[in-house]
Structure 1
Amino acid sequence: MKKSAVAFALVGLTAMFSGAAPTRVLAGPAEDVQSAMQLLKSKAAAIGAPSIKGEEELAGKKVPVLYFGSTKMNGNFALVDEVQKEKGGTATIFVKDRDEFIRVATNVKKEDGSRAIATMLDPKGKAIAAIRKGENFFGDVDILGKPYTTGYEPIRDARSEILGIYYVGYPKQ
């Protein structure tokens, strides 16, 4: 039996005898990223189809307004915070603004502890290169100077146009 399976079994047995709920045992960064990405995408799909409706100022920067159904995502942290609460790590919704991708809903933090809202995805990074080709990216990248194990997937409208990016990630230890 693998160590992770033994650890999970022990946690479950301890919980069963103590009456406590089992503690989540991490499967590993890659599995966590895949699981968190699926959760983010399914929660977004439950809200509604993605669309862009106009522009607005967000943290001093004029950006397109991204919606899922009738729910505006710009400055709305409910979705990303739900994913963080359920899976840990970080989550972000980016909107496409010409050749850039801007964080419009995020729980990634800046050095000062504030949300990194209206900040741009690294224009020279590995993730944006994949997204520009219409591909997903899963791997290690630096986010605002810190290493993360991440996943990025395009947000597409009904015509398959890329409107933004789903992101999830876990700080590297």
Structure 2
Amino acid sequence: MKRKQFLAGMFAVGCAIAFCSIVQSVATAQSDKVMTSMSALKAKAAKLGAPKIEGKDMVAGKEVPALYFGATKMNNNFAVVDEVVKENGGTATFFVKDGENFIRIATNVKKDDGSRAIGTMLDPNGPVIGKIKDRMAYYGEANILGKPYVTGYEPIKGADNEILGIYYVGYMKQ
């Protein structure tokens, strides 16, 4: 009887180890995708020119600063974020800094009704905001509009090194 219990216990331990290895490989694969997508988003924006804020613009009924890369205004412009997602999957966003908040101005993150989540604000109490305000990147899990994602957020800095907004990419957590 003890031998059967021992074998059953060993089998359970083996299954647990295998499960953990699979979960770890999925997490690693998602992290690799985040890094690849972030590089693509930043490269595509850089091709347009240096980031700057110029005036204000309406996004989802809210007046927010207008974020430009070169001469291309990003507010309500989905070309770059959609191109990154077409090539790499996941989601991508440009946020603009509006006072102490960061507002989605170009995104393919969807709200529950299926519309783009433009005009929505980065969670001011989430794990990302502190890192960004400290001028650092955040890579890890984040809750986006009530759903878990594996994400990357990096500050968009202007010519004077001031934070203008945030680059974001993410994948729904598997």
Match of 1:131 in 2: 132
TM-fit CA distance, 1:27:
6.7
Q: SS in structure 1 opposite 2:81?
A: helix
1:113 aligns with 2:122: no
Match of 1:74 in 2: 75
Letter in 2 for 1:93: F
Match of 1:84 in 2: 85
Q: SS in structure 2 opposite 1:28?
A: helix
Q: SS in structure 1 opposite 2:160?
A: coil
Match of 1:57 in 2: 58
Whole-angstrom CA distance in 1 between matches of 2:99 and 2:73: 19
TM-fit CA distance, 1:32:
0.5
The structure carrying a bigger helix percent of its residues is 2
Q: Which runs of 4+ in 1 moved over 2 A?
A: none
Match of 2:48 in 1: 47
Match of 2:160 in 1: 159
Whole-angstrom CA distance in 2 between matches of 1:113 and 1:129: 29
Whole-angstrom CA distance in 1 between matches of 2:119 and 2:62: 7
Q: SS in structure 2 opposite 1:113?
A: coil
Whole-angstrom CA distance in 2 between matches of 1:81 and 1:161: 26
- Superposed CA deviations along residues 121-171 of structure 1, whole A, max 9, x for unmatched, are 000011111001000000001100000000000000111100000000000
Whole-angstrom CA distance in 2 between matches of 1:80 and 1:47: 13
RMSD: 1.1
1:144 aligns with 2:145: yes
Extract unaligned runs of 5+ from structure 1. Answer: 1-25
Q: SS in structure 1 opposite 2:112?
A: coil
Q: What is the identity percentage for the equivalent residue pairs of Structure 1 and Structure 2?
A: 62
Letter in 2 for 1:128: I
TM-fit CA distance, 1:75:
0.0
Letter in 2 for 1:135: M
Letter in 2 for 1:99: E
- TM-score (structure 1 length as normaliser): 0.84
Match of 1:14 in 2: none
Match of 2:103 in 1: 102
Q: What does 1:5-20 correspond to in 2, within 5 Å? A: none
- Superposed CA deviations along residues 2-48 of structure 1, whole A, max 9, x for unmatched, are xxxxxxxxxxxxxxxxxxxxxxxx97011100110000000100011
Whole-angstrom CA distance in 1 between matches of 2:67 and 2:93: 13
Q: Which has the larger radius of gyration?
A: 2
Whole-angstrom CA distance in 1 between matches of 2:83 and 2:129: 25
Match of 1:9 in 2: none
TM-fit CA distance, 1:56:
1.8
